[in-house]
Amino acid sequence: MCGVFGIFNHPEAANLAYLGLHALQHRGQESAGIATSDGDQLSLHRGMGHVIDVFPPEQLARLKGDNAIGHVRYSTAGGSMLKNAQPIAVEYSRGSIAIGHNGNLTNADTVRESLEARGSIFQSTSDTEAIVHLIAMSQQKSPEDRIADALSHVKGAYSLLCLTPTSMIAVRDPMGFRPLCLGRMPGGGAYTVASEPSSFDLIGAEYIRDIEPGELVVVTKSGVKTARPFAESARSMCIFEYVYFARPDSTLDGISVYEARKNLGRKLALIHPVEADVVVPVPDSGVPATIGYSEASGIPFELGLMRSHYVGRTFIEPQQSIRHFGVRLKLNPISSVLKGKRVVIVDDSLIRGTTSRKIVKMVRAAGATEVHMRISSPPTKWPCYYGIDTPTRAELIASTHSVEEINQYITSDTLAYLPLEAMHEAVLQARRPALGANGNGNGNGNGHARSLPVISDPKRLESFCHACWTGEYPVEFTPPPKQRQMRLLDI
């Protein structure tokens, strides 16, 4: 759960990186950072908190140069502390490099242990630091070859953005777990890379295309080069990005997140109908699915729960105590909508059951006569090891309870989930016809889209990672990632 953004060859690189990160804030709110380069030196600033707090204008002004990469972080590996904020920037024998990473490595501990045995000294607990060491130790010459060499030693999920004094390098892991896309500023010359194309809209950039799984893109003053240094692998884009995580105004790998969510809701209504007076979303992530549910069922859509936008997502505070009261802090029922009504509530996922239980009680207390919970994804039974923050298996209510037991726990009249196959179909049906062009309705990515390779085998698009529902993990993790404790506390 992180976001990366980069821009190369633009006089306002730091400001645009700031805006790009702002549009990716939903991907991580714990820390933010930007590294810039002026062709010679790298400058770096990182801090804990939201982009707007980490970068007051005077701080942004200190980040000099025409090239920038930035990162927003929510810790899924390594603790929540400034040391683990990204980008990580280092100087090594061949110069300097800054790195921002979205995803989790599944063999980070093993790689780290072997590096430490050979004398490497780590500053953080983040798995990304292992990549930095591998780059520094590589015998290859160019930064891109060193990066490819380093990545050949790691497994798991990475959408990676690197900045050297003279280049920006973007890499997506061979399975393409996390999204990454390429854009260009109007007038050409400046290229941009982001986790999601919605951040291009904010800065007026034109979407060119998604970076392919296993592709390495190098941006320099002379333009863009692309390579495929890794062996082909089955595609495993995280389907939960479509269900919950990505912004609905993003199109990822040619699939509109908004349309996918609406389709999920439509299928949910067809597979799990219920007689009701209103259908209400759990805002914000449940809204598009509820629109779809309403459309397919004919039950009127109503906003029965108001969300305060001045608190973060409930998961975003890592401590359990804060997360619990977060539900109350965040949502308030509108009793005129709910009183005396049979209500369907649609949410995208049910993890521990805490949110649903509180919402059901809240909606009943507001006068609803019946409360039917509908979830636009299957029961979440397995933790994610590829970059989505999920609790341990023991905390996932569906790993130990049947749907009926969960229904009783959350105190709804009925509870139903969308089956896996229906979820797949819903997402695939949201694929936009033309890949490589106009992914987000902004610009058309002409010429450049043609001069760069496009999706070679459309069949490869059809597989997603759905391990959190099925336990079928596409990349082994040995041993399961564990939280490393820093014994050196820099307070």
Q: How far apart are CA 2 and CA 255, in angstroms?
A: 20
Taking the complex as a whole, the smallest distance from the CB of residue 130 to ligand AMP amounts, in Å, to: 24
Taking the complex as a whole, the smallest distance from the CB of residue 266 to ligand AMP amounts, in Å, to: 19
For binding to ligand AMP (CB under 6 A), which residues are involved?
244, 282, 285, 313, 315, 347-356, 388-390
Name which of 261 and 267 has its Cβ closer to ligand AMP.
Answer: 261
Q: How far apart are CA 86 and CA 259, in angstroms?
A: 32
The residue type at 414: T
Name which of 17 and 396 has its Cβ closer to ligand AMP.
Answer: 396
Taking the complex as a whole, the smallest distance from the CB of residue 76 to ligand AMP amounts, in Å, to: 9
Per annotation, catalytic residue among 2, 238, 465, 468? 2
Name which of 244 and 301 has its Cβ closer to ligand AMP.
Answer: 244
Taking the complex as a whole, the smallest distance from the CB of residue 388 to ligand AMP amounts, in Å, to: 5
Sheet holding 2-8, edge to edge: 42-48, 31-37, 67-73, 2-8, 191-194, 181-184, 206-210
Q: What is the CA radius of gyration of the chain?
A: 22
Name which of 212 and 347 has its Cβ closer to ligand AMP.
Answer: 347
Cβ contact 1:387 at 8 Å: yes
Instruction: Return the closest-CA partner of residue 126 out of 71, 193, 68.
Output: 71
Name which of 68 and 388 has its Cβ closer to ligand AMP.
Answer: 388
Main-chain dihedrals φ then ψ at residue 158, nearest 5 degrees: -150, 125
Question: Which H helix or E strand runs over 85?
Answer: none
Q: How far apart are CA 323 and CA 354, in angstroms?
A: 9
Reduced to 3 states (helix: H, G, I; strand: E, B; else coil), residue 159 is: strand
Q: How far apart are CA 17 and CA 4, in angstroms?
A: 9
Name which of 390 and 440 has its Cβ closer to ligand AMP.
Answer: 390
Taking the complex as a whole, the smallest distance from the CB of residue 32 to ligand AMP amounts, in Å, to: 18
Q: How far apart are CA 452 and CA 457, in angstroms?
A: 15
Question: Which H helix or E strand runs over 67?
Answer: strand 67-73
Find tokens 């393409």 and name the residue. Answer: 176
Q: How far apart are CA 112 and CA 172, in angstroms?
A: 21
Reduced to 3 states (helix: H, G, I; strand: E, B; else coil), residue 345 is: strand
Taking the complex as a whole, the smallest distance from the CB of residue 454 to ligand AMP amounts, in Å, to: 32
Q: Bridge-partner residues for 224, per DSSP?
A: 219
Main-chain dihedrals φ then ψ at residue 97, nearest 5 degrees: -155, 145
Q: How far apart are CA 104 and CA 54, in angstroms?
A: 24
Q: What is the largest CA-CA distance in the chain?
A: 71
Taking the complex as a whole, the smallest distance from the CB of residue 277 to ligand AMP amounts, in Å, to: 22
Instruction: Return the closest-CA partner of residue 89 out of 54, 125, 131.
Output: 131
Name which of 324 and 484 has its Cβ closer to ligand AMP.
Answer: 324
Find tokens 């490869």 and name the residue. Answer: 460
Taking the complex as a whole, the smallest distance from the CB of residue 327 to ligand AMP amounts, in Å, to: 7
Cβ contact 411:370 at 8 Å: no
Taking the complex as a whole, the smallest distance from the CB of residue 140 to ligand AMP amounts, in Å, to: 36
- Does 2 qualify as catalytic in the annotation? yes
Instruction: Return the closest-CA partner of residue 154 out of 112, 185, 210.
Output: 112
CA 265: distance to chain centroid? 21
Pairing of strands 342-347, 370-375: parallel
Name which of 307 and 484 has its Cβ closer to ligand AMP.
Answer: 307
Name which of 255 and 415 has its Cβ closer to ligand AMP.
Answer: 415
Catalytic positions: 2
